[in-house]
Amino acid sequence: MALFTTFIFCFDHLSQTDNLFCMRKAILIFLIQFFGVFVFAQSIDPQLSIIPEPVTATVNPGHFVLPPNIIIEIDESKDASGVAALLSAQLIASTGFKVSVVTKTNPSATVRFVLNKNEDKAIGEEGYTMSVTQKNIVIKANRPAGLFYGSQTLLQLLPKEIESKSLAKNVVWRTPCVSITDYPRFGWRGLMFDVSRHFFTKQQVKDFIDEMVKYKYNLLHMHLTDDEGWRIEIKSLPKLTSVGAWNVKRVGYFGTFALPAAGEPRDYGGFYTQDDIRELVQYAKERFVNILPEVDVPGHSLAAVVSYPELSCTPGAENYKVRSGEEIMDWSHGAPPIALEDNTLCPANEKVYEFLDKVMTEVAQLFPFGYIHVGGDECPKNFWEKSDAIKALMQKEGLKTMEEVQSYFEKRLEKIVESKGKKFMGWDEILEGGLAPGALVMSWRGMKGGIEAAKMGHEVVMTPTNFVYLDYMQSDGIIEPHVYATLRLRTAYQFEPVPDGVDAKFIKGGQGNLWSEQVYNTRHLQYMVWPRSLALAECLWSPKEKKDWNKFAKKTETNFDRMDIQQVKYSRALFDPIFTAKKDANDSLQIELSTEVEGLDIYYSFDNSHPDNFYPKYSTTLSVPKESVMLKVITYRDGKPIGRQIDMPINELRKRAGLKLYITPKPE
């Protein structure tokens, strides 16, 4: 606009000689503006921030801009129609543009979905290729799943406002020109959602699915039963939900609550009807997600025992109640725990196997996925040791240990599961006492159980606590909702599902597990899942050699902007300061500060005031001033606060360093 104004002013107000000068000036301005716009256009495109990282991605010159009339072309078989419908809905919601889906070749097509007639073996069942030129966008795949994952990548290439559920204004809807070839490293890319400890609604499960598929997860593991609630309708066993789905509401630190009083209402909980399950299965299927049901037995079964006390070995089980968060296990002696109440099914009771046959019949009919997860973890055996029925079973079957008793149970249950046309799987405790012949092992107590099972020729899904347990704290325990362990984002990103010395063909993949004892609502659920599930997504999809922590951390920040648009809560713990407390040779406390990501400045105070970037900047190990009681720390980037201020008591650091606590002298 300034260019045209200059021309008009020149010709209207100046002499011929001055006009010549002014014209030259205008041309100079034009050239400056032209090249300035060109340089600006080149500089505003950030590096690709696709999570998980594609196998190959090449940025080419130029951009493609979405037109106001978007045409999505699919082939005549209409196998891609579901993918096109999902993409259309998102484009319409955020851009407000008109979107048409056509099945005939259209030279004006904006996006072309192409199912390969000749299979591209390199990209497999879920892979895709994408070409974005200044003319159009072409996504090719062997199967509709590949088209779907390609469309998720396309959405990440567009401006962050594409994530909006309502019309976003003043946005240029453009994407860089790119060439991408992409396919997953593992076929099992899962997240486990514990809906038993706290019940989450059908809509909340759908929302969870919508969030996970953006990052190419394809497996939702639903932990449906536990001591705190039975969450799936079994029509032949109605008490499982009329009784077993309800407890007394408590908030605070789960596992520490007092026993509910006799008259307190048991109205907290809920369950999914069989129609709900069918709806969730279909919703997931449309987004290329399988749902793995878990019925956790023989331990973690208090809700079932309360519903049908005859399933227990223990007299008096009819007096038990569904757990509301009170202590029912003694973990002071390690695992397995000592049960204060018997939360197990009785392996010596034939009624238990009749019960499980009914349950597995209905579960198998509801979930088309090929596996049923039967738990098997943390089964206390102290009540079994007292049971005459268990002793008789051991003598009859020649069982020598309680682990062999559980193995007997698992092998019988495997036959039931397989009789329903499903494969049997459980947590790595099912290895103890002898593994059922066709069992798949989900290794959670580190990698050891998975390594052992793989070397025996069993399929394995890796879910080790130290890398993928999403219920763990994300930052320092002094600031996070308290749980018994910490898992930082950078550690999660170091997850490698295939251990050295193990044949990779037995490792199906991995998953993150969100146990919900301390997760009371969906906002906190999101906070615990993201961004650590971004890290896991890249570990499971991307080639091992493509992983780069510094690059991933930058991409994560970019995705935070997208999550803000989606109104998805996430943790910013990666910006928080990290405390390392040590003692020197003189038993004096020494404090080291660090951060997960590069480029952050750390400021601190010992005088109880709130530090900012005018306070001392951390550069070397800190010694504590005499009688100081608090270290306050905050991180900055480019002169602006980025991490949370953490107020760390000096006595907490002394405890971590193995030093005596400092006692503040009382004034005389």
Please give the positions annotated as active site.
226, 300, 378
Longest dimension (CA), the chain: 117
DSSP E strands: which ranges in 391-475?
423-427, 440-443, 460-462
In which residue are the tokens 């020109």 written? Answer: 177
Q: Is the dihedral of CA 274, 278, 281, 287 positive or negative?
A: negative
Closest listed residue to residue 490, CA positions, set 544, 532, 551: 532
First to last CA, the chain: 77
The long-range contacts involving 120-128, CB below 8 angstroms and separated by at least 24 positions, are 122/181, 122/183, 123/181, 123/182, 123/183, 124/183, 124/184, 125/187, 126/183, 126/184, 126/187, 126/218, 126/288, 127/55, 127/181, 127/182, 127/183, 127/184, 128/153, 128/180, 128/182, 128/183
- Write out the DSSP string of 551-613: HHHHHHHHHHHHHHHHT-----GGGS-EEEEEE-TTS-EEEEEE-SSSS-EEEEESSSSPP-T
Distances 224 to 199, 208, 242, 382, 404 between C-alpha atoms, Å:
9, 15, 15, 25, 26
In which residue are the tokens 């005596």 written? Answer: 660
Distances 616 to 55, 606, 635 between C-alpha atoms, Å:
44, 10, 12
Distance CA 619, CA 603 (A): 9
Helix (H) or strand (E) holding 631: strand 630-637
**571-583: b or e for each residue (b if 16 or more CB lie within 10 Å)?**
bbbbbbbbbebee
DSSP E strands: which ranges in 23-68?
56-65
Distance CA 284, CA 261 (A): 40
Distance CA 50, CA 52 (A): 6
Tokens of 453: 């099972």
Closest listed residue to residue 357, CA positions, set 297, 439, 432: 297
- 8 A C-beta contact, residue 113 and residue 136: no
The residues, ordered by sequence, that sit 6+ positions from 62 with a Cβ below 8 Å of its Cβ are 133, 134, 176, 177
